[in-house]
Structure 1
Amino acid sequence: MRRLALAIAFAAALPAALAAPPTGREIIGDVGRIVAPNGVQENFKLHVNGIDQWVYTRGQDRKNPVLLFLHGGPASPSAPTMWMYQRPLEEYFTVVNYDQRGAGKTYLENDPEQVRPTLNVQQFVDDAVKIAQEISKRYGKRKVILVGHSWGTVVGMRAALARPDLFHAYVGIGQVISMLDNEKVSFDFAMARARKENNQQAIKELESIAPYPGDTPITRERIVTERTWAQHYGGLAAYRGDFAYYFNAPLLSPEYDEQAVQAIDKGSLLTLERVLNEWLQVDFKPVKSFPIPVVMFMGRHDYTTPSAPTAAWLAKVKAPYKRGVWFENASHLVQFEEPGKTLVSLLEYVRPLARD
C-alpha cells in the first residue's frame, strides 16, 4: 500500500518535473499582467489612415488619465521595451503605446512597398492625431496626455501644435528642437572627449566628416560616424559605452515574438531612408508660443538629442504652463536610466494637468 502511494505521488509530480521551465518572456508577462478589477490590458489593431497599426494599452484603473506615448527611432517601437520601466506608471496612468507605420508589428501587418510612399513627417503626425482621437473615444476621455521620445518628439510637437484641443499637456523626452543644432552639439562633444582622451581612431574618423554638419550633405554614413563616437562617450546611455541592454530588451518582451523583433531593424531601414532629409530640416526655434502646457524631461548627458537647445527654447517660449526637468544621471534614454524620477516627475508636474 505504501509503495502504491509513493508511486501515485511520483506520477503526479512527473509532468511538472518534465515540463519545460517558463521562458523569460513568460515570466515577465505574468509578473506584469494587469489583474486589477478596473484595469485594462489589451493589444489590438487600429485601422488608421489606410493601414492597420498595433496599439498596446495597460493600466491599473480606467479612471486614470490616458497617456499616449510616441516612440522614437524613427521606427524604434516602445512596445517591446516598455516592460523595463512602465509598470509603476500604470498605477497612475492608462498608458497607450503604438507601433508607428513602418515599425515593429505594424511593419509586419502591412506591405512595406505600399507603406513606403506614405512615410513622411506629416503622415506620422496625422496618424498620431487620429490615434489620439480613437483612444479618447475608446476610454471615455475628453483629452489625453501626449508624450514623445526622440523622433517621437518631432511628431508630438507638430501634433500638439496642430490639434491642441486633443491634449491636456505635451511632454518631450529627448526633445528635438533643431536637428542641425543637435548634430553640431553632438559632434563637438564627441570631438572634445576624443581629444581629451587622445583617442586617435575617434579623432581620425570625426575629422573625416568635419566640418559637421557643415554644407556637405548629411548622409546616413556621416551620421553613423558622429553618433558612434558620441554614444561611445555616453551620449545615448549615461556612463555607458555599451548599451546592448536596451537593444536586447525586445528579446524578453511579452508583446513581441522573434519575427516581430527581427522586423525592428527592417522597419528602421525602410523608414530612415524615406524621412532622413525631412527630419534633418526640423526646426522648432521659430515657435515662440505653445498652446498647451509643455514639460521637457532632459538628460544631463544626452548627446543624441542634446538638451541644451531644448533648455534654451523652453526658457523663451510662452505657454499656459512650462517646466523643464533635468535628469542628472541620464542621457538620451531617460525613462530607462531614471525610471523612478520619471514616475515622480510625471506625477508632480503632469498628472495634475489632466482634468477631464
Structure 2
Amino acid sequence: MVDATLLAASASAVLAAPAAALAGYRGLRRAAHARRLRITTPRGIDEAGFVRIGGIDQWISVRGDDLSNSVILELHGGPGATNLPYAARTRAWERHFTLVRWDMRGAGKTFERSGPEGQGELTLERLESDALEVTRHIRGRLGVDRVVLLAMSFGSVIGLRLARRHPELYSAYVGTDQNINAGGHDRTAYDGLLDRLTAAGRRKELAAATAMGPDRAAWATEQWSQYNKLTVGSDPLTLDTVKKVVLGSLLTSPRHGLGDLRTHMRAMAFSERLGPQSVALDEWAEGVDFRLPFFVFQGAGDVITPVGPVRRFFDEVTAPVKEFALIEDASHFAAFRHPDRFLDLLLTKVRPALTGAPATAGTVTAVGTAGAVGAVGAVAPASAAA
C-alpha cells in the first residue's frame, strides 16, 4: 500500500514548480495521451459508466481493440487507489486483451460519485461480493464464459479468494504486487524496513518503526499510515516509482483533472480501514489448491510485498498450470513501471494457458531490462534500489 499522505507530499512538491511551466507540460502530455488512447478499430470497444453493484453506483471501464480477444478484469490496489489513470501506460495491453477496470467502493469515480457517506459497508467480504457482481455483469455484457483475473497489490487479497472459490468464472489468476498474509506471523517486510533504515543511518525513523513493533494487528490507523510512508521513503526505487509512475500518471491522465488527484488521496485515506482487516488472514489456511491456471509476476525489488513470502506461498500452490516470474528493476507497481515486460508475460505465459497450448507447470522466469523472458534456475534475491 502507498500512503495517501506520502502521495500528497509528492504532489505538493511537483505542484510547487512554476505554474506556467507545469501547466504547459501537463497540457502537452495529456494531449499526447488522449491521442494514444483513441480506439478506432471496427471491433473495438471504449465504454465507461456507472453500474449498480452492491446497492451503489460503481464505475466500470471496458476498453480493447478487438472484442474477440480474451477479457481481463483488473482488481486495483491501494486500498482505494483506482487504476484508471494508468490507461495510457497500458494502451498496448488493449491490442491483445479487452481490459476491464473497475473503481471499487471507496476508490476513484465510485468514491467521487457519493462521497464517504455513500460507500456503504467497506469490508473484505463486501468487496468480494461486489467483485462477483462485476464479474457476472462483464460476462453478460461481453458474452464470455470466463475472464482472466488480474489482481494487483491490495486487490490480490480479494483476488485469491475469488480464484479459490469461483474457478468456474475465471480462466486464469494473475497476481502482481502480490500480497501474502500469514495471520500476522510474517515479518519479512517489517524487518526489511528496519534493515534499510539502519543501513541509511536514519535513527529517528528507525526509532519510530521499532516503537511500532511488527504486530500489525496492534497498530492504530495512523501507525499504518506512518509505516507505509517509511517503507516507500526508505527505498529509492519505490519512491521514484511513486513519483514518476503513480503521481505522473495521475497528473497527466487526459480523463482526470487536478480535482481527481485530491479525490484519489481522499479515497485512499478513507479506505485505509481495509488494511487492518486483512492482517488476520492466513493465505495458507485459506487454501493453496487452485483449480485454474495460476500466475504471479512480481517486482524483483518489491519492498512493500517482498518476493520471499510470495514465492514460499507459490511453491505450495497446486494448479493445472502455474508460473512465477520476476520483473527486474521494479519494486511495487511493477506492471505499470514496465508495462511492456508485463505484456510480454501475459502473451507468452498467460495466453497459452487460455488457448490450451502446452505449458510447463512451476516454471520460474525473470524479465530483464531488455524485456526478454528467460528461464532461470532459482528466484533472484530482491534487488537493491537503483
TM-score (normalizing by structure 1): 0.86
1:123 counterpart letter in structure 2: R
2:13 matched residue in structure 1: none
**2:150 aligned to 147, 152, 156, which one?**
147
What corresponds to 2:297 in structure 1? 297
CA distance in 2, matches of 1:182, 1:153: 19
Deviations 1:43-72 (A, max 9, x none): 122111211111111111111000011100
Count of residues in Structure 1 that have an aligned counterpart in Structure 2: 330
Please name the residue that 1:78 is paired with: 83
**Contact residue 232 and residue 242 of structure 1 kept, 8 A:** no
- Aligned residue for 2:310? 310
CA–CA separation in structure 2 for the residues paired with 1:160 and 1:288 = 11
Larger radius of gyration: 1
Counterpart of 1:163, as a letter, is H
CA spacing shift, 1:181–1:308, aligned 2, 3 Å: farther
Could you list the runs of 4 or more consecutive aligned residues of structure 1 that deviate by over 4 angstroms after TM superposition? 20-23, 179-183, 239-242
Deviation at 1:233, TM superposition (A): 3.2
Matched, 1:157 2:144: no
Return the match for 1:213 from 212, 215, 221. Answer: 215
Per mean C-alpha deviation after superposition, the further-off stretch among 137-146 and 238-247 is: 238-247
What are the equivalent positions in structure 2 for 1:15-30 lying under 5 Å apart? 24-30=29-35
Q: Distance in 1 between matches of 2:295 and 2:321?
A: 8
Are residues 242 and 331 of structure 1, via their aligned partners in 2, closer, same or farther at CA, if it must alter by over 3 Å? closer
Matched, 1:94 2:98: yes
Query: Which residue matches 1:12?
Result: none
The answer to whether the aligner puts 1:60 opposite 2:28 as a matched pair is: no
Residues in 1 aligned to 2:173 and 2:215: alpha-carbon distance in whole angstroms = 29
Distance 1:63 1:187 in 2: 45
1:178-197 deviations in Å (ceiling 9; x for gaps): 16658721221121122223
2:97 maps to amino acid? F
- Aligned partner letter, 2:281: V
User: Shift of the alpha carbon at 1:37?
Assistant: 1.4
Query: What is the aligned-residue RMSD (CA, Å)?
Result: 2.3
Residue aligned with 1:45, SS: strand
Partner of 2:381: none
Q: CA deviation at 1:23?
A: 5.1
Q: Which moved more, 1:312-321 or 1:238-247?
A: 238-247
Aligned CA distance change for structure 1 residues 324 and 68 (closer, same or farther; 3 Å): same
How far residue 241 of structure 1 moved from its aligned partner, in angstroms, is 5.3
Aligned-partner SS, 1:298: strand
User: Within 2, Cα distance between the matches of 1:102 and 1:225?
Assistant: 21
> Mind listing any 5+ residue stretches in structure 2 that lack a counterpart?
1-23, 357-386
Q: Structure 1 stretch 124-133 or stretch 223-232: which is displaced more?
A: 223-232
Q: Match of 2:328, as an amino acid?
A: E
Change in CA separation of 1:104 and 1:240 when aligned onto 2, cut-off 3 Å? closer
The question of whether the paired residues in 1 share the 8 Å contact of 2:184 and 2:280 is answered with no
Matches within 5 A, 1:1-356: 24-84=29-89, 86-116=90-120, 118-178=121-181, 184-210=187-213, 212-213=214-215, 217-234=218-235, 238=237, 240=239, 243-245=242-244, 246-273=246-273, 275-286=274-285, 287-355=287-355
Moved more, 105-114 or 181-190: 181-190
The CA deviation string for residues 95-132 of structure 1, in whole angstroms up to 9 with x for no partner, is 1101111111111222532324x111111111111111
CA distance in 2, matches of 1:52, 1:125: 16
Q: 1:179 to 1:24 in 2, by over 3 A?
A: farther
The 1:180–1:201 alpha-carbon spacing in structure 2 relative to 1, beyond 3 Å, is farther
Check the 8 A contact 1:231/1:241 in 2, yes or no: no
**What secondary structure sits across from 1:243 in the alignment?**
helix
TM-score, reference length from structure 2:
0.80
Q: 1:233/1:223 Cα in 2 relative to 1: closer, same or farther (>3 Å)?
A: same
Determine the C-alpha separation between the residues in 1 that align with 2:201 and 2:34: 46
CA drift at 1:203 = 2.2
CA–CA separation in structure 2 for the residues paired with 1:338 and 1:256 = 22
Task: Check conservation: 2:241, 2:333, Cα contact below 8 A.
Answer: no
* Residues 126 and 159, structure 1, Cα contact 8 Å, conserved in 2: no
Deviation at 1:242, TM superposition (A): 6.9
